[in-house]
Amino acid sequence: MDIENKVIVITGAAQGLGKTFANDLAARKARLALADINMEQLEQVRGACEEAGIEARAYELNVADEPAVEKLFEQVVVDFGTVDVLINNAGITRDGLMARKKDEEIKKMSLANWQAVIDVNLTGTFLCGREFFVKLLEQKKPGVCVNISSISRSGNLGQSNYTATKAGVAEMTVTWAKEMARHGIRVGAIAPGYINTEMVAAIREDVKQKIIEQIPIRRLGDPSEISHSVFYILENDYFTGRVIECDGGLRI
């Protein structure tokens, strides 16, 4: 697929990897439908994309809200006339150990923190993928869906909720690729390692240093290094049903 002029929906576009994808795809002259729950920050991203000379629109969206996701894809097709690509990126963390004993006090991961991450990262990814495919089938056209998994899909201390969702996202990618190939639709995923975003910045400094020491390349990834993987999935017409691991060699 040629990226230029394609209509690309990016969820979670107000910050982190989503914001970088928006800027980097604007530089490649895509047309962008940017969605996020945080409209104030999203407007800034939209403005920056427009300055790159492309059409960019901002949409308020909670990816876990089924009617809202259905409405978003309806509206994108009305506004742009079509849709070609989904970057299924919105995600949150609520890190904490399952059960932890410190100074005789036992703490545990709350059900609320479990559910919040499942709702956004797993249900949200499912809903956005489904509605994107519905629109492609209605229009009888090919397209590409890029899911964002994580190195944490293989298990990570303090992330029971997040690992469950990111493993689910990786395996849904394989399933969707098998289901959608007959319609000319490809589905790929990226499992980033520790990338220099707000999410990683929020990790306690001492813990973050321990993590960086374990990365063979000895540094955090740059968000644009993950955009590079997005470009690869979009541009390689033989790529589907697989997960690109871009993590500085951290995953064993």
Binding site for ligand CAA (CB under 6 A): 93, 95-97, 100, 150-152, 156-159, 162, 192, 194, 199-200, 203-204, 206-207, 210-211
Distance of alpha carbon 188 from its chain centroid, rounded? 11
Concerning whether 232 is annotated as a catalytic residue, the answer is: no
Q: Closer CB to ligand CAA, residue 132 or residue 162?
A: 162
Phi first, then psi, for residue 190 (nearest 5°) are -125, 135
- Of 109, 99, 89, 123, the C-alpha closest to 199 is 89
Distance of alpha carbon 250 from its chain centroid, rounded? 20
Q: Closer CB to ligand CAA, residue 97 or residue 174?
A: 97
CB of 33 to ligand CAA, least distance (A): 24
Among all residues, whose Cβ is closest to ligand CAA?
A: 158
Q: Among residues 162, 194, 232, 238, which one is catalytic?
A: 162
Amino acid of residue 152: S
Q: Helices 124-139 and 160-180: crossing angle, nearest 10°? A: 20
CB of 164 to ligand CAA, least distance (A): 13
CB of 184 to ligand CAA, least distance (A): 30
Tokens describing residue 244: 């690109």
Catalytic residues: 162
